[in-house]
């Protein structure tokens, strides 16, 4: 059984990443929970991991895919960790998270910008089991990074 999982490592990570993206889209579009800018940025590493796993599945002898996958999940940990830090007032919001660009007196410009307003990164709009989505993403990214690093060491020791 373990050997079968190791043979399909890239496929399993691809499916997990795909489910994470689908879940985020479901929460945003079906449950109508608006995503902040950092929430949108947190999806990018999973999109990259899907592409990397696709190539890793079809070209498993090329070892660059595992390095890229580890790097992708480390970047995901960084982005989601920063977001969790903003939510818990550890870090200040970066300028892209705030809606301070709406300070205008021009009525037409204000109406045009109202459609592009994203919620603040500090505000938690949705929780699952008491955890924000950024916290859940941090945990998932950390777990996927550990699994990927373990797979790398197992492959290296064969």
Tokens of 96: 């892209």
Range of the domain at 30: 2-156
C-alpha angle 113-119-124 in degrees, rounded to nearest 5: 175
Report the SS3 class of residue 128: strand
Q: What is the CATH number of the domain that holds 35?
A: 1.20.1550.10
Measured from the Cβ of residue 77, the count of other Cβ atoms closer than 10 Å reads 19
Mean pLDDT, to the nearest integer, of 129-155? 94
- CA dist 120 and 5 (Å) reads 40
For the segment 29-58, what is each residue's pLDDT rounded down to a tens digit? 999 999 999 999 999 999 999 999 999 999
pLDDT above 90 covers a percentage of the chain that reads: 64
Indicate whether 109 pLDDT > 80.
Answer: no
For the segment 132-143, what is each residue's pLDDT rounded down to a tens digit? 999 999 999 999
Instruction: Read off the pTM.
Output: 0.84
Number of domains in the chain: 1
**35: DSSP letter:** -
């Amino acid at each position: 059984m373990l050997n079968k999982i190791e043979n399909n490592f890239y496929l399993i990570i691809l499916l997990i990443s795909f489910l994470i993206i689908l879940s985020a889209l479901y929460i945003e579009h079906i449950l109508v929970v608006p995503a902040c800018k950092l929430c949108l940025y947190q999806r990018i590493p999973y999109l990259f991991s899907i592409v990397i796993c696709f190539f890793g599945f079809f070209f498993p002898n090329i070892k660059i895919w595992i390095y890229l996958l580890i790097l992708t999940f480390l970047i995901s940990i960084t982005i989601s960790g920063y977001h969790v830090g903003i939510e818990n007032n550890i870090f200040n919001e970066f300028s892209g998270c705030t809606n301070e660009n709406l300070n205008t007196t021009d009525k037409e410009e204000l109406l045009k910008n109202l459609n592009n307003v994203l919620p603040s990164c500090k505000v938690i709009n949705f929780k699952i089991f008491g955890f924000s989505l950024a916290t859940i993403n941090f945990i998932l990214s950390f777990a996927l990074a550990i699994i990927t690093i373990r797979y790398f060491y197992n492959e290296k020791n064969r």
